[in-house]
Amino acid sequence: MKRNDRFIMIDGILGSGKSTILKTIHEWAQTCEHKTFRLQDWTQAQPPRFEDISEFDVYFTYEPTRTWIGGAIRYELSREDQPYAGEELAHAFALDRQIMYRRLILPALNAGKTIIQDRGVSTSLVYQPVMPGGLPLEAVMNLPGNRLALKHAPHALILTRISAEAARERILKRDDESKGVFADLAFLKKQEERFSSDWFKDLFTSHGTQVLELDTSGSLEETQKQATQLINHLLTTC
């Protein structure tokens, strides 16, 4: 595939400040007068197709989605009272991912658009092998949706850095469905370790991705300043 596109993925442990980076990129898009599509504003029951929204310049996507498989992940598969096994979640995330890549992300990239994504296959490789009843890393990588995502790996992967304890404090202040099984402190510590590991960085580097880290443990103002500098480095032109 000819890489006239730009594909940036943001990831990190839950509560690590990804939204601050995403807000900074959205401000960059507005400054550049780009026409932006945000998946969070999509209200139809089915996930969007690129051909129906091809007039946009920058697409802000996230995983899991909120339609079809993504909705089941958010409101059923991540419940704490009757938890599902990591294997079930791995298959669900991979299928949700495959649908979004085929309907939106890959056609948009082929059209030379910019994709800014909150979480992705990187999250599955960190989370699912260490969840109760999870699959080995190699098995997670070989799920069809994950193979597709790794084949079309992002240009850049921005990893937010914060301690599991600090992230947990932030999560407890939230009032939404995101607490779930993914916010357990012991699990947050496993996430922190895996996101920081050499094998994880090497995997994405081997797929042509530039892996960048951003310390989000400071104040909001400090994080915003660092995020602005990083985005100016990555998105040097409008």
pLDDT tens string 136-168: 999 999 999 999 999 999 999 999 999 999 998
Render pLDDT for 58-107 as a digit per residue (tens, 0 to 9).
999 999 999 999 999 999 998 878 889 999 999 999 999 999 999 999 99
Question: In the numeric block, which tokens belong to residue 223?
Answer: 């994080």
Segment 33-62 shows an average pLDDT of: 97
Q: What is the pLDDT of residue 181?
A: 63
CATH architecture of 6-234: 3-Layer(aba) Sandwich (3.40)
Render pLDDT for 170-206 as a digit per residue (tens, 0 to 9).
888 776 555 566 778 888 999 999 999 999 999 999 9
Confidence of residue 1 (pLDDT cuts 50, 70, 90): very low
> In this structure, which long-range contacts are made by residues 136-145, counting pairs with CB atoms below 8 Å and at least 24 apart in sequence?
139/90, 140/90, 140/94, 143/90, 143/91, 143/94, 144/94, 144/98, 145/93, 145/94, 145/95, 145/96, 145/97, 145/98, 145/99, 145/101, 145/121
Q: What is the pLDDT of residue 176?
A: 59
| Model pTM score | 0.92
Render pLDDT for 214-223 as a digit per residue (tens, 0 to 9).
999 988 899 9
Question: In the numeric block, which tokens belong to residue 205?
Answer: 């580097």
**Considering only CA atoms, which of 141, 127, 135, 136 is closest in space to residue 94?**
141
